Structure 1
Amino acid sequence: MTETPAAAPRVIVGVDESETARWALSWALGEARLRGMELLVVHVAPVPPYAAAAGVPGHGAACGLREAGGELITRLLAELQEGGGCGATRVSGMTLLGAPGDALVRLAREEDILVVGRGTRGPLSRLLRPSVHRHCAAHARATLVCVAPPTIGRLTVPGAAQERPLRRRPWWRRHEQDHTGG
C-alpha cells in the first residue's frame, strides 16, 4: 500500500473589496514569509439570492463572478508588489462560488492557517450578509486568525502612556467657572 505524501501546510486568506481584507492579506503574507509557507489568496463570490433560488447560476453568470474575483486578486497582489512585494513567498490565487464562510472552511485543512478579516458591522448588515469570521470560528478545523484593522485607540504615541488624560467636566457643569486659582 502506497501512501500519498501529505500536502504542505498553507496560509489561506479570504479576500473581498473591503479594507479589512487588505489588512488580513498583509498579515497573511507576513505569516507565510515567516513560516516559509505557500500563501493562497481566495475570493469567494456569494451567489446572488435570485440565482440561488433558481438553482445553479448559469455558465455566463458563474464566469462573470469568477472573472471579477480573479481581477480582484490580481489587483490586491499588484498592490502588495508596489508596497514591498511578495519576496520569495509562493503565492497563488483561487476564486470560488458559494457562501464565503462555508467555502473557506471546506478549503482549509487541519494543518493550514486560515486568515480572515474581522470588520465591525451592524446587526442589519450581519442579517443580510452573515459574518464570515464567525462562521469560520464555529466550523474551521484549521488554525483561524481574525485580523481587525487598527483603530486610533490601538495606535500608541511614544511617551503618551505617562501623560494623564485630560479630564472634562460633565456637560451639566461646563458653565461653572474654575475657582481653584489655576
Structure 2
Amino acid sequence: MRRVVVGVSGTPGSLAALHRAAAEARVRDAQLWAVMAWQAPGGGLGSRGSCAAPVLAQCRGAAVERLRRLLDLAFGAEPPGVALAGVSVRATPGAALVDAARGCDDLLVVGAGSRARLRRLVRPSVARYCLAHAACPVLTVPPPPLQADLDAVHRRNLWHLPLDARELAP
C-alpha cells in the first residue's frame, strides 16, 4: 500500500503540511501516516540511559495524547477521507520521518519551517535533513501566512515593543 508520511509537531507549518499530505493521500489513493517524534527529558543520546522506564512511558503517553489532540484539531469531526495512522516515535524528527518513509512508493511531506537565520543556526532544519536523506520524494510545504504574523507578535513581545492600534485595522 502506498503511504504519504507527514511530520506533525503542532506548529502552524506542520498543520499546513498535514492538510497538504491529506490532499496528496486522497489523490494518490494512499494511507496517511502522521508521525510525531519525541525525545526523553534531556534530549538526544545522553538521555537514553538516564531515564527510568516509568518516565519514558509517561513521555511516550504524552506524545501519543498530543498527537491525538493535534489530529482532532486538524480534522475535527470530519475525517481526512483516507486511512489515517498516527505514529509516535522516540527519535529526532528528521530521522523518524526518513525511517517511516522508506518505501520508494511513499511520499514524505514536511513543513518548510522558519527561514530566520538565527533560528536555523539554533535548531537544525527537519526539511533539509529529509531532503538529504530520504529514499522517496519529499514535498516541502511553505509556512502559512499566519506564521509570519505570529513571528512578528513573538518578536514584539520578546523586545517589549508597544502595540500600535493602527496595525490591527485591516
Tell me: CA distance 1:83–1:147, structure 2 relative to 1, closer, same or farther (3 Å): farther
116, 133, 136: which one pairs with 2:127? 133
For 1:86, the equivalent position in structure 2 comes to 80
Shift of the alpha carbon at 1:53? 1.9
The alpha carbon displacement at 1:47 in A equals 4.1
Aligned to 1:64: 58
Q: Give me the whole-angstrom Cα distance separating, in 1, the residues matched to 2:94 and 2:75.
A: 27
In structure 2, what is the equivalent of residue 5 of structure 1? none
**1:144 is matched by which residue type in structure 2?**
V
Query: In structure 1, what is the Cα distance between the partners aligned to 2:71 and 2:43?
Result: 31
- Residues 114-172 of structure 1, C-alpha deviations (whole Å, 9 max, x = no match): 011112143333333211000001110111011112338xxxxxxxxxxxxxxxxxxxx
Contact 2:106 2:137 in 1 (8 A): yes
In 2: Cα distance, 1:82 partner to 1:54 partner: 35
Q: 1:27: how far off?
A: 0.4
Deviation of 1:50 after TM superposition, in Å, equals: 5.6
| More off after superposition, 22-31 vs 58-67 | 58-67
Whose helix proportion is higher, 1 or 2? 2
Q: Which residue of 2 aligns with 1:100?
A: 93
- How far did 1:66 drift? 1.7
- TM-score, length basis structure 1: 0.70
Asked if 1 retains the 8 angstrom alpha-carbon contact of 2:114 and 2:120, the reply is: no
Indicate conservation of the 8 Å contact 1:47/1:99, yes or no.
no
Superposition RMSD on alpha carbons, in Å? 2.1
Q: 1:111 aligns with which of 105, 112, 122?
A: 105
8 Å CA contact retained: 1:13, 1:41: yes
Segments of 5+ residues of structure 2 without an aligned counterpart are: 147-170
Q: Distance in 2 between matches of 1:81 and 1:49?
A: 32
Q: Indicate the SS of the match to 2:96.
A: helix
Asked if the contact 2:40/2:47 (under 8 Å) is kept, the reply is no
Provide the C-alpha distance between the structure 2 equivalents of 1:122 and 1:129, rounded to a whole number of angstroms: 11
Which structure's CA Rg is the greater one? 1
Larger displacement relative to structure 2 (136-145 or 57-66): 57-66
Between Structure 1 and Structure 2, how many residues are aligned?
144
Structure 2 counterpart of 1:120? 114
Counterpart of 2:33 in 1: which secondary structure? strand
- Fraction of identical pairs, as percent: 36
